[in-house]
C-alpha cells in the first residue's frame, strides 16, 4: 500500500547502521508492549482501534454534521489541547488560511483554547447567535478554559434563541456516563457524542472530538479514517525498514542519547502550521515526564529562516530537525519575466513558486546538516484527508513506541495538574 516515507540520510553522521541495529531490540520490545497491550497505560490504547470503527456513532456524526451544514451560519468548537488541535490542524490544512474569507456555511470557529477575554469578545461581536451551533468538548466538564467559555457562549445562545432551541443547538462531546458535562447534558437535553474511556485527549482526533468539527467543515471523515487504517496496518511490520513509525522512533531516540534534546518540526507549507501545534502537544505531553523527553519545537519555513534559522544553523548543537514535506503541490503559480530584470530574478522566470520552495527545502536540509544539525524528512505525498489520516496515526504510533523506549508511560500527564492547583488556590476555589 502507498505510505508516508521517511528519509534519514541527513542523520547518517550520528544515526549509523550499527546504532540502528543496536536499538532495534528495544524498539521491537516497545512494539510488543504496545501491540499486546502489556505496557504502562495500556488502558488508554483505544486509539489503536479507532481507524477500524464502523459503529453507529460514526453515522450519528455525519447526520449531525449534515444538519449543521444545512442550517447554521457558525459552528463554535469549544475545547482545549487535544479537544481542538486535531480538528484545527485538519481544517487548516485542507481548507486553507483564507477559508473564512470565502464565506463557507457554516464557518467553523474555535474557542475555549485559552483565557484571552479579547479573543472571546471579538468572537462574540463577529457571531450572530441566532444562527449558531455550539460543540462543547470536555470529558469532565470542569476544565477551566472551555468550562468558562461555554458558560458565556451558551448564555449568549439562550438569550438569542431561547432555552429550547439552544438545547437543540448544543452538542456535548463528553464522557458516556459521568462528569459535570454529562450531568448537564442530561438535564438540558443536549445531544451527546461520546469520548471513549480508553482514548486520551491528544490521541482523540479520530473520535467524535475531532470528527464532528472536521465533518462540519465539509471534509471526508471516511477518507481520514481510511488513511489511518492503512497506516495502522503498516505498523504491524516488525522491522525498521518496513515500518516508518518504528524507524522514526528509533532515530529520535538515537539522537537523544547523543545530546540532541530538542526536536524541531519544520514545514515549508503554511497550511501545516497547526499540524505542528498538534504534534507539539502529542509529543510534549506523552514523553515529558520523570525528567525525560525531547522538547518539541516547530518552525514555519522559509519564514523562520529569517528569525530562528540563525540559531538552528550556528547555535548550540543540542537539536535536530524533522522536515515535513509535501511532495505534490498542485499549484502552478509561475514567476514572470520582466524587461529590466530590476530584481535579478529573470534567471528563474518560468519556474513555479512550488519549485523554488522545494529548492529552499533542499538547500536548508543540506546547510543544517553541514552545520551540525542532523535532520530527517517525512514526505507527505498529497494534502488530502486520506494522507492526513496516515500522518496522524504515524505520529501516534511513533510516540507510543518512543515513550516506552524512554521508560515513561506515554498516556498520562500528571504535570498538567500542577498549574491548575496553583490557579485554583489563587482564584479562591473552595477546597484549594
For residue range 71-87, list pLDDT tens digits in order: 999 999 999 999 999 99
Query: What is the model's pLDDT at position 230?
Result: 97
CATH for 333: 3.40.50.10490
Please check whether residue 357 lies inside any domain of the structure: yes
pTM equals 0.96
Query: What is the model's pLDDT at position 3?
Result: 87
Query: What is the model's pLDDT at position 101?
Result: 82
DSSP-derived letter for residue 286 is: H
420 carries an active-site annotation: yes
Q: CA 323 to CA 104: how far, in whole Å?
A: 32
pLDDT single digits (tens) 171-206? 999 999 999 999 999 999 999 999 999 999 999 999
Question: How open is the CA angle 369-370-371, to the nearest 5 degrees?
Answer: 90
Residues 340 and 398 in one domain: yes
Please check whether residue 244 lies inside any domain of the structure: yes
Residues 82 and 136 in one domain: yes
Locus of grid cell 497505560: 41
Please check whether residue 422 lies inside any domain of the structure: no
Residues 6 or more apart in contact with residue 324 via CB below 8 angstroms: 265, 266, 267, 272, 275, 276, 377, 378, 380
Residues 274 and 363 in one domain: yes
Please check whether residue 303 lies inside any domain of the structure: yes
Residues in the chain: 432
Residues 215 and 230 in one domain: no
Residues 332 and 210 in one domain: no
Note down the domain range covering 347.
5-39+224-406
Question: 358-365: long-range contacts at Cβ-Cβ below 8 A with a sequence spacing of 24 or more?
Answer: 358/268, 358/325, 358/329, 360/268, 360/301, 360/302, 360/305, 361/268, 361/301, 361/323, 361/325, 364/266, 364/301, 364/302, 364/305, 364/309, 364/323, 365/10, 365/321, 365/323
Please check whether residue 278 lies inside any domain of the structure: yes
Residues 116 and 136 in one domain: yes
> Residues 18, 56, 125, 306: which is the catalytic one?
306
Count the neighbouring beta carbons within 10 Å of the beta carbon of residue 76: 25
Closest CA to 298 of 315, 318, 323: 323
Low-confidence ranges of the chain (pLDDT < 50): none
Query: What is the model's pLDDT at position 227?
Result: 98
Cis peptide before 161 (omega within 30 of 0): no
97 carries an active-site annotation: no
Residues 181 and 242 in one domain: no
Last residue of a domain, one of 195, 219, 243: 219
Let me know: does 292 contact 408? Beta carbons within 8 Å.
yes
Let me know: does 54 contact 161? Beta carbons within 8 Å.
no
Please check whether residue 107 lies inside any domain of the structure: yes
Residues 94 and 211 in one domain: yes
Let me know: does 278 contact 89? Beta carbons within 8 Å.
yes
37 carries an active-site annotation: no
Residues 188 and 295 in one domain: no
Closest CA to 310 of 371, 366, 377, 375: 371
Last residue of a domain, one of 176, 199, 219: 219
3-state secondary structure of 165: helix
Query: What is the model's pLDDT at position 269?
Result: 96
Residues 244 and 173 in one domain: no
Q: How many domains does the chain have?
A: 2
Please check whether residue 164 lies inside any domain of the structure: yes
Residues 145 and 12 in one domain: no
> Residues 277, 285, 287, 396: which is the catalytic one?
285
Last residue of a domain, one of 196, 219, 242: 219
Residues 337 and 281 in one domain: yes
Amino acid at each position: 500500500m502507498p505510505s508516508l516515507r521517511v528519509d534519514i540520510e541527513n542523520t547518517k553522521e550520528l544515526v549509523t547502521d550499527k546504532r540502528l541495529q543496536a536499538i532495534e531490540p528495544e524498539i521491537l520490545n516497545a512494539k510488543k508492549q504496545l501491540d499486546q497491550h502489556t505496557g504502562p497505560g495500556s488502558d488508554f490504547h483505544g486509539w489503536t482501534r479507532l481507524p477500524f470503527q464502523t459503529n453507529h456513532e460514526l453515522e450519528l456524526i455525519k447526520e449531525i454534521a449534515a444538519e449543521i451544514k444545512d442550517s447554521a451560519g457558525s459552528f463554535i468548537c469549544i475545547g482545549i489541547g487535544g479537544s481542538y488541535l486535531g480538528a484545527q490542524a485538519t481544517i487548516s490544512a485542507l481548507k486553507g488560511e483564507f477559508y473564512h474569507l470565502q464565506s463557507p456555511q457554516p464557518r467553523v470557529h474555535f474557542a475555549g483554547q485559552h483565557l484571552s477575554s479579547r479573543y472571546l469578545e471579538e468572537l462574540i461581536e463577529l457571531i450572530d447567535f441566532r444562527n449558531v451551533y455550539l460543540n462543547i468538548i470536555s470529558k469532565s466538564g470542569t476544565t477551566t478554559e472551555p468550562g468558562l467559555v461555554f458558560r458565556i457562549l451558551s448564555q449568549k445562545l439562550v438569550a438569542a434563541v431561547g432555552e429550547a432551541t439552544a438545547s437543540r443547538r448544543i452538542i456535548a462531546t463528553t464522557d458516556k456516563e459521568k462528569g459535570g458535562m454529562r450531568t448537564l447534558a442530561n438535564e438540558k437535553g443536549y445531544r451527546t457524542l461520546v469520548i471513549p474511556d480508553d482514548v486520551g485527549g491528544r490521541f482523540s482526533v479520530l473520535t467524535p472530538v475531532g470528527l464532528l468539527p472536521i465533518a462540519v467543515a465539509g471534509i471526508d471523515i471516511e477518507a481520514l479514517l481510511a488513511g489511518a487504517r492503512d497506516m495502522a496496518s503498516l505498523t504491524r511490520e516488525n522491522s525498521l525498514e518496513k515500518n516508518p513509525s518504528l524507524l522514526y522512533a528509533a532515530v529520535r531516540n538515537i539522537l537523544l542519547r547523543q545530546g540532541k534534546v530538542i526536536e524541531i518540526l519544520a514545514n515549508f507549507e503554511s497550511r501545516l502550521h497547526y499540524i505542528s501545534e498538534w504534534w507539539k502537544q502529542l509529543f510534549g505531553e506523552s514523553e515529558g515526564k520523570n525528567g525525560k523527553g525531547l522538547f518539541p519545537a516547530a518552525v514555519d519555513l522559509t519564514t523562520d529562516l529569517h528569525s530562528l534559522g540563525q540559531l538552528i544553523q550556528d547555535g548550540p548543537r543540542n537539536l535536530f530537525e524533522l522536515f515535513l514535506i509535501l511532495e505534490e503541490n498542485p499549484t502552478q503559480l509561475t514567476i514572470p519575466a520582466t524587461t529590466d530584470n530590476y530584481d535579478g530574478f529573470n534567471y528563474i522566470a518560468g519556474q513555479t513558486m512550488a519549485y523554488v520552495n522545494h529548492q529552499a527545502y533542499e538547500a536548508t536540509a543540506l546547510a543544517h546538516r553541514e552545520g551540525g544539525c542532523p535532520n530527517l524528512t517525512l514526505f507527505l505525498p498529497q494534502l488530502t484527508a486520506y494522507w492526513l489520516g496516515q500522518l496522524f496515526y504515524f505520529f501516534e504510533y511513533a510516540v507510543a513506541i518512543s515513550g516506552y523506549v524512554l521508560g515513561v508511560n506515554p498516556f498520562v500527564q500528571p504535570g498538567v495538574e500542577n498549574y491548575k492547583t496553583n490557579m485554583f488556590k489563587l482564584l479562591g476555589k473552595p477546597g484549594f
